[in-house]
């Protein structure tokens, strides 16, 4: 059984699942290599326009690093050179990823969520960076991404106390885009959001995402303008740039080529 599965679904969407429910979907070497392979596969597939990442089962999205692996001296297997922790948190991706949080996302699980672009979560989900409980730190981006995603003082409290943030409060802070009452409706809600993205011009989506990701990166106004100009030029040179207006005039749905 693969620790990570990839399903290509209708509507130009892929569903990636961390499939270790018996270990609360904790990250081991198989998960890290599996997620890296999932990124490779979805990036290479021009038919995929949006990706949903979730965990198997009803209890946990991801419990973070598998501490049994770490204690056995296999901690280095939990990261890859290109992607960092879980083969994912630092990996460059041109397509939008949506975290579908089906339960607790703690430690590295929260860092996986923060590495995604959008978040759909069930009400019983929770987030947190409890590494200090074990004398560790959240070294996979959580220490600086969480204060960017929610009010900094709330993030600092979570980081220093090892506390948890429930999904409803996370939704209020804007970390969660869409809140789902029950786990049974999570997949449908996440795939619906992915579908809303996938119906749009693929080149325009990718280039818009490239610029928007840099909004809080520290780039100054001039650099952001230059990045936006470059993105516009790439879109204007695409076949989709002509197809969008043509479809509007002809009163039909666009037939995007993604080129």
Active-site residue list = 111, 131
Helix (H) or strand (E) holding 16: strand 13-18
CB environment 53-68: b (16+ within 10 A), e (fewer) = bbbbbeebbbbbbbee
* Burial class of residue 106 in the structure, from the number of CB atoms within 10 Å of its CB (0-12 exposed, 13-18 middle, 19+ buried): buried
Radius of gyration of the chain, Cα coordinates, nearest whole angstrom = 19
CA distance 52 to 120: 10
Pairing type for strands 79-80 and 60-62 reads unpaired
* Burial class of residue 43 in the structure, from the number of CB atoms within 10 Å of its CB (0-12 exposed, 13-18 middle, 19+ buried): middle
Q: Assess contact for 36 and 30: CB atoms under 8 A.
A: no
> Tokens at residue 186, please?
């999570």
> Tokens at residue 34, please?
């599996």
Q: Assess contact for 35 and 18: CB atoms under 8 A.
A: yes
Helix (H) or strand (E) holding 165: strand 165-166
CA distance 155 to 253: 43
| Residue 11, SS3 per DSSP | coil
CA distance 164 to 74: 28
């Amino acid at each position: 059984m693969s620790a990570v599965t990839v399903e290509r679904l209708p509507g130009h969407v892929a569903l990636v699942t961390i499939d270790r429910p018996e270990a609360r979907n904790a990250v081991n070497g198989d998960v890290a290599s599996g997620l890296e392979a999932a990124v490779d596969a979805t990036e290479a597939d021009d038919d995929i326009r949006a990706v949903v990442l979730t965990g198997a089962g009803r209890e946990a999205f991801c419990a973070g690093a598998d501490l049994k692996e770490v204690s056995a001296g296999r901690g280095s297997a939990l990261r890859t050179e290109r992607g960092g922790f879980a083969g994912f948190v630092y990996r460059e991706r041109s397509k939008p990823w949506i975290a579908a949080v089906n339960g607790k996302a703690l430690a590295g699980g929260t860092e996986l969520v923060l590495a995604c672009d959008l978040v759909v979560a069930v009400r019983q989900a929770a987030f947190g960076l409890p590494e200090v409980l074990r004398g560790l730190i959240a070294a996979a981006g959580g220490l600086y991404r969480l204060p960017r995603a929610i009010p900094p003082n709330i993030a600092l409290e979570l980081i220093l106390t090892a506390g948890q943030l429930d999904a409803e409060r996370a939704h209020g802070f804007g970390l969660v885009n869409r809140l789902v009452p029950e786990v049974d409706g999570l997949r449908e809600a996440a795939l619906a959001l992915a579908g809303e993205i996938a119906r749009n011009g693929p080149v325009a989506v990718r280039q818009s995402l490239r610029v928007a990701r840099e909004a809080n990166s520290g780039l100054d106004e001039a650099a952001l303008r230059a990045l936006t100009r470059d993105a516009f030029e790439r879109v204007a040179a695409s076949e989709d740039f002509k197809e969008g207006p043509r479809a509007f005039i002809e009163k039909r749905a666009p037939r995007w080529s993604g080129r």
